[in-house]
Amino acid sequence: MLVLRPIELNDLNPLMDLLADAGHGLTSLPRDLAILEKRIRMSIASFADPLHQGPNGEVYLFVMEDLNSGELAGVCGIISKIGGFEPYYFYELKESIHESKMLKLKQTIHALHFYKTHSGPAEICSIFLSPKFRNSQNGRFLSLSRFLFIAEYRNRFEHHIIAEMRGMVDENGYSPFYAAVGQKFFHIPFTEADKLSMVNKSYVEDMLPKEPIVVELLPSDAQYVIGRVHPQTEPALKILQYEGFQRTNLLGIFEPGPIVKAELDELRSVKDSKKMVIEDIVNDEEEDFKNHHPHDPLRDMYIISNAKSEKYKCCLGKIKIVNQKVIISLESATSLRVKVGDSVRFVSLK
């Protein structure tokens, strides 16, 4: 049984082990003990804050744990609002039409414009699922479970939300775009720039030119990767697009993967989620939980949360609704640590 829960300090070393398979480009979670410990402490403080007076850049990190082995299967996060004291940087891709009657030529020119914000939307981030646990069910569960937390604690987050999708970086940390642009101004390798951005981003604004960068003047391999996602990130992008995210003209700074955006209250997993009281807890084998969609069993599955902030837990299970109350399985109740009379929030997995 896999359960999603807030990250804890004793997850630090297991998280390092998990991220050994992450490769390069997972900017928000570099494999560095000091940085990861700082992120974990920030997350713990965000969950524990008793006031929550609107979004102020809080970081919420979750881990997905295999209850049978205690192994970490995945990690994911939410930032309540990007910007603030330290701005966020993007490229904005714009196009313009150029025409010459003398040459009988008309063409579209693309340019990358430096863009920063001190007051941005919420962001989902830091998602990684161990190859050992990868399938459509676990990947979807890990990604969408965050939206149940947002739905339960809606006042903690901005009205719009983005996701910066991982761009094209190979297993050795080589980015054709960074080699053509960032390397020219920072004079440090991609992996070092990526890691340094988690400590202090000021060098980005100090060194990158503010003049537009004409895409057509870049090497062909650098042009090709602009707006493209890493192959391992394509399934995550499809899940988010199904939920209601749409592409924007904003791109990442280092290996410019696409940035997708949505209105938070219009996301399927937020607006379709329901909160009900548990009426009964029964064994999984009982008639209530037989498959109604044998050819697509994921349609019978629900993401279920216990809606308890610091003790927040989320699992996959089946639900039966009776008179605006729910019946859940014993396995789900045990995983979530809930009993009859408690409330759960849930949404269909698919």
**On the CB side of 283, how many CA atoms lie within 13 Å of its CA?**
3
Annotated catalytic residue, options 110, 118, 159, 230:
230
* DSSP string for residues in 167-187: ----TTS--HHHHHTHHHHH-
- Give the list of residues 6+ apart from residue 70 with CB closer than 8 angstroms, or none: none
**Active-site residue, 98 included:** no
- Residues 167 and 228 sit within 8 Å (Cβ to Cβ): yes
* DSSP structure class, residue 272: T
- Tell me phi and psi for residue 243, to 5 degrees: -75, -20
Report how far residue 20's alpha carbon sits from residue 128's, in angstroms, rounded to the nearest whole number.
11
Q: How far is CA 258 from the centre of its chain?
A: 13
Q: Are 140 and 76 in contact (CB under 8 A)?
A: no
Alpha carbon distance 291, 135 (integer Å): 20
In contact, 301 and 350? CB cutoff 8 Å: yes
3-class DSSP state for residue 301? Answer: coil
Cβ pair 221, 176 in contact under 8 A: yes
User: How many angstroms separate the Cα of 155 from the Cα of each of 96, 159, 265?
Assistant: 40, 9, 11
HSE of 132, CA atoms in CB hemisphere, 13 A? 14
Over the range 139-161, which residues count as b (16 or more CB within 10 Å of their CB) and which as e?
Answer: bbbbbbbbbbbbbbbeebbbebb
For 284, the enclosing helix (H) or strand (E) is none
Active-site amino acid positions:
230
